Amino acid sequence: MLKIYFRRILDNKLVLIGSSVILALILIAIFAPFFAPYDPVEQNLIERLQSPSSKHIFGTDDLGRDVLSRMIYGTRVSLSVGFVAVSITVIIGTILGLLAGYSGKISDNIIMRFVDIMLCFPSFFLILMIIAFLGPSIYNIMIVIGLTSWSGLARLVRGEVLSIKEREFIYSAEISGLSGMRIMFVHILPNVIGPIVVSATLGIAGAILSEAALSFLGLGVQPPTASWGNILTSGKDYLHIAWWLSLFPGLALLLTILSFNLAGEGLRDVFDPKVWGRF
């Protein structure tokens, strides 16, 4: 089975393009001290707001800091928020979706009514409210985005479980006397991994965008720590004279989110039996 999926991934151009860019971003984040030409927090007021040049490829900001170095270190922030927040989302959404889909009507009704309540609130405004109360920090952002983004995944997993639990191999497992927990996590969960992976990949893009928006509003990662969002924030006041402060982090966000979306759409085709035929 793994060989089949691996071959499909290699045949899918969307996955290959998206994952190649994602891998490059991960390497940049891990080896940021080697790629960054300058210290991202080092100020040099003499060289403030310099346009892109051979010395400062992406120019400098209002405090004379090298924009390229800050963007390279900002990659760490964006990817960390994306992966950690989505990990929280996947854990909560998967567990609640499995319980709702398999455990019976009472558990299903309780969990899904809670999911409906969560879906009633605009997620970004809920994040804004909680961050404003807790205070802005990268750890709060990771946790809050993860804790407010699981409802869609829970509903997706529940729908998959409701379909899978009617299959014969589940009846066989129940007749054999296996516990409900073992059936859910050993027999059902492997069959819903595909939709979970697709949802998580697309969710990372959403989490990165949410972090950038929060940082842009001043409720995200706080200076002097570099993030793409707070670089954009510093650039909005100098847009008429320092276009590079908005252009380059904006392009980085566009490229990153597009890459995760391409990978997610490609993985959806890889795991979709309607595209590849049932096996």
Half-sphere exposure at residue 11, Cβ-oriented, CA atoms within 13 angstroms: 11
pLDDT at 26 over 90: yes
Q: What is the CATH number of the domain that holds 151?
A: 1.10.3720.10
For a pLDDT cut of 70, what percent of the chain falls above it? 94
| pLDDT of res. 278 | 44
95: CB partners within 8 A, 6+ apart: none
Domain membership of residue 260 as a residue range:
65-276
Total domains present in the chain: 1
For a pLDDT cut of 90, what percent of the chain falls above it? 20
| pLDDT of res. 273 | 59
* Mean of pLDDT over the chain: 84
Residue 9 burial class via C-beta count within 10 angstroms: exposed 0-12, middle 13-18, buried 19 and up: middle
Tokens of 207: 């989490």
Residue 44 lies in a domain: no
Residue 30 lies in a domain: no
Residue 105 lies in a domain: yes
pTM exceeding the 0.85 threshold for the entire prediction = yes
Residue 69 lies in a domain: yes
pLDDT at 114 over 80: yes
Q: Which residue has the higher pLDDT, 93 or 242?
A: 93
Residue 150 lies in a domain: yes
Chain centroid offset of residue 256 CA = 10
pLDDT at 256 over 70: yes
Q: Which residue has the higher pLDDT, 26 or 170?
A: 26
Residue 238 lies in a domain: yes
| pLDDT of res. 9 | 67
Residue 29 lies in a domain: no
Residue 31 lies in a domain: no
| pLDDT of res. 14 | 81
